[in-house]
Amino acid sequence: MNMSVTPPAVGNVSGMTPLVLVALDASDRAELALATGARHATKVHGDVVAVHIACGVGRQNGSVDRVRELAHAADVPLFVREGEVAAELGDAYLELRACAIVASGRVARDVLTRVPIAVAIAPNDASAVEIDLAGDQSLSTQSRDRAAQSG
């Protein structure tokens, strides 16, 4: 019996659901980053995945636990990696074949210098987010639900 094992394709591959990667940390802007990711995913008819880069200090002060809670509450898959933030986010982007990364500040700039990708800058507050979701009737249910939950 011949058997072929092919790993499943994920992410930004023809015929596959695009992925928007959210660089998630335990800061006050984490929920806004997830909401921004959900809005971008809605526009590309995709899904959101969160990536947290853990470091020694973060593991000690509970940031990984906080990030897990945030991802769980948003119903978003979470990948926890260790290493240098920009390098690990760039690697995660390539491995997951994501179509964009939602990050902010120095992290976004550092990722851009490493990997030629689309980076969405998470705004500082929710009032800065202006995306018209009501006008788009072709939204996937999952993305529409996430966007509605995010405000």
pLDDT, tens digit, for every residue of 50-65?
A: 999 987 655 556 789 9
Q: pTM for this structure?
A: 0.70
Q: What is the mean pLDDT of the chain?
A: 75
Q: Comparing 8-12, 18-22, 72-76, 138-142, which segment has the lowest mean pLDDT?
A: 138-142
Token reading at 107: 């992290």
Q: Quick one: fold of 19-127?
A: Rossmann fold (3.40.50)
Reported confidence tier of residue 20, pLDDT bands at 50, 70, 90? very high
pLDDT-derived band at 1 (thresholds 50, 70, 90) equals: very low
Sheet containing strand 19-23, strands side by side: 78-82, 47-54, 19-23, 100-103, 119-121
Evaluate if residue 86 carries a pLDDT over 60: yes
So what's the pLDDT on residue 95?
92
Distances (CA, A) of 144 to 20, 49, 66, 129: 14, 15, 25, 16
Centre a 10 Å sphere on the Cβ of residue 79 and count the other Cβ atoms it contains. Answer: 16
Least confident piece of the model among 47-51, 85-89, 108-112, 123-127: 123-127
Neighbours of 5 (CB within 10 A): 4
Domain boundaries of the chain, sorted by first residue: 19-127
For 95-110, b where at least 16 C-beta lie within 10 A, e where not — what string? ebebbbbbbbeebbeb
How many C-beta atoms lie closer than 10 Å to residue 129's C-beta? 14
Give pLDDT, residue 27. Answer: 86
Q: Which residues contact 60 (CB under 8 A, 6 or more apart)?
A: none
Question: Above 90 in pLDDT, residue 118?
Answer: no
- In the chain, the DSSP E strands lie at 19-23, 47-54, 78-82, 100-103, 119-121
